[in-house]
Each structure stands twice: as structure tokens, then as C-alpha cells.
Amino acid sequence: MPLVKLMDVHKAYISGSETTKVLYDLDLEMKRGEMVMVMGPSGSGKTTLLNILGGIDKADKGTVNISKMNLLKLGKSELNEFRRLKVGFIFQFYNLIPTLTAIENVELGLETTMKNKKEIRKRAVKYLELVGLGDKLNNFPQELSGGEQQRVAVARALAKEPDIILADEPTGNLDEEREKKVMKLMNTLQHELGTTFLIVSHNTRLKQYVDRTLILRRGRLHLDS
Ligand SMILES: Nc1ncnc2c1ncn2[C@@H]1O[C@H](COP(=O)(O)OP(=O)(O)OP(=O)(O)O)[C@@H](O)[C@H]1O
Ligand SMILES: [Mg+2]
């Protein structure tokens, strides 16, 4: 059974008398441990798709099955549970909390799944070190460069060791050397922990790290040709 199965997913946004159809009849299947990249023009619905998969936004119609759960059928508290335990999100604009340091931002993400404070700290340090920020643990986001903030966001998502990581331009602010390190780290988790990844990016260089690439166009996913 696939980890992710989307069928006939529809999503439109209505503002005033305007309806923007973003996704229609969209299908997607992903195996556990697979890494898939989604490319597509700006405004084609890539972030919308990630939000639907992560239980942040709701599809209007269709089937959204992840880890044997149909997200469209879950109640509010079940959906919260799903987001807390199963999903790691790397947002397009990081979403770090400005009043918390790098390590506190990562720890906050872990408090929902782990209870032991020492274990939480250990895990947060481990992943911040893995993204090369071992010497910036106590910096606030505003004391970090854009690329460093992005790596905190990557560490926060990976540290949860969730079933699936949804990543929106996870390397958008990194130089090539850093990009390679972050992608290799994700590949390691994919192979060692069986983590599933859906990565949205405009960067064709990332193709070498993923199992397959899909293009989002006119509301649906197409094979990359
Ligand atoms: N909450 C919202 N309310 C109304 N319209 C929205 C909302 N979120 C997204 N849209 C619209 O839906 C479309 C898809 O947006 P989305 O953010 O998913 O695009 P994207 O593919 O991620 O683009 P980019 O590459 O620029 O990040 C756009 O036309 C956008 O304006
Ligand atoms: Mg987007």
C-alpha cells in the first residue's frame, strides 16, 4: 500500500466573486521511503498541494490518503495529531519564531512528539550540527543569514524524524556546496529511516538526488519529459 495516495483532488480559492481553480483531478501516489520532486510555474499550486498533504489546508473534493488516514475524513483533533506526529514541514519562508534561538526553534518542534527535555536537547543539537550550525545554536533568527535560517528550518523538520517531510524550496537560499550537503543529508534519512520526501523546487540541480520528478501544470501532475 502506498504511503501517499491522492485521487481526483480539487482545490479552488474563492475571494469575492473571483474563483481561482488551483488543483483539479490531481492524482499522486508515493511509496514509503520515496523522494519525489514537484516543479512547476509560480502560482501553479505547488505550495497549495503541500499544504493539503500536510493537513494545513483542506481539499474541496477527492481522496487524500496518507499513512492509511483519509485526511478529508479526519476531525480537527485527529488532524492536529496527524500534523504533530507524522509530518515535518520545511516552509518556503522558513516560519522560524523570532523570539526563540536556533536551538529553541528546533526544540519547540520536538516537544509535540518527545517528552524528555534532555533527549529533546540532544536531538536538536544533533540535527543542527548535521546542517552545519553547531556553532550558532544560541543565535536568534535575526542574527542568522538567510541560508542559516533556512538550515534551522531544515533541522527542525528533520529532527522530528516524521513519516513524511514536505519541503517547499528547502535549498532556495543555499549555495551549491550547502545545497549538496542538505540534499545528501535528506538522502541519508530517506535510506536509513525510510523517510518519504516531497520536495517542491524550481532548481533542476535537485533532480540528481530524487527518485522522480513531476511537473504541476494546469491543476495536475505530469511526468517530467
Ligand atoms: N489562501 C489563498 N487564498 C486565495 N488564493 C490563494 C491562496 N493561496 C494561494 N492562492 C492562489 O492559488 C494559486 C496557487 O498558489 P501557490 O502558492 O500554491 O503557488 P506556487 O506554485 O506555490 O507558486 P510559487 O512557485 O510562486 O511559490 C495562486 O494563484 C495563488 O494566488
Ligand atoms: Mg509556493
Does the structure show a pLDDT above 80 at 225?
A: no
One-letter amino acid identity for 38? V
Neighbours of ion ligand 2 (CB under 5 A): 47
C-alpha angle 182-186-188 in degrees, rounded to nearest 5: 115
Per residue in 142-161, pLDDT (tens digit) is 999 999 999 999 999 999 99
Instruction: Pick the atom of ligand 1 nearest to 216's CA.
Output: 21
pLDDT at 1 over 90: no
At residue 92, the pLDDT reads 86
Q: What is the pLDDT of residue 68?
A: 87
pLDDT at position 30, please?
98
What pLDDT is attached to residue 170?
94
Ligand 1 pocket: which of 9, 24, 38, 44 to mutate (most atoms within 8 A of CB):
44
Q: Per the structure block, which three cell numbers stand in for 112? A: 509535540
Q: Report d(CA 69, CA 170) in Å as an integer.
A: 26
CA distance 76 to 194: 28
Distance 153 CA to ligand 1 centre (A): 21
pLDDT tens digits for range 161-174: 999 999 999 999 99
Range of the domain at 56: 4-223
Residue 39 — φ and ψ, nearest 5°?
-115, 170
| Residue list, ligand 1 pocket, CB within 6 Å | 13, 15, 20, 22, 40, 42-48, 92
* Closest alpha carbon to 221 in 72, 30, 20, 16: 30
Strands 87-90, 69-70: pairing is: unpaired
Residue nearest to atom 29 of ligand 1 (CA): 43
pLDDT for residue 154: 95
Q: Which helix (H) or strand (E) holds 222?
A: strand 220-223
Centroid of chain to Cα 95? 12
Residue 23 CA to chain centroid, in angstroms?
A: 19
Handedness of CA 84, 143, 99, 92 (dihedral sign): negative
Rounded CA separation 50/166 (Å): 6
Tally the domains of the chain. 1
Question: Which DSSP state fits 73?
Answer: G
CA-CA-CA-CA torsion sign (83, 55, 64, 52): negative
pLDDT tens, residue by residue, 15-73: 999 999 999 999 999 999 999 999 999 999 999 999 999 999 999 999 999 988 999 99
Whether pLDDT at 13 is above 90 = yes
**pLDDT tens per residue, range 85-111:** 999 999 988 999 999 999 999 999 999
Give, using CA atoms, the residue closest to atom 4 of ligand 1: 13
Model-wide pTM > 0.85: yes
CATH number for 114: 3.40.50.300
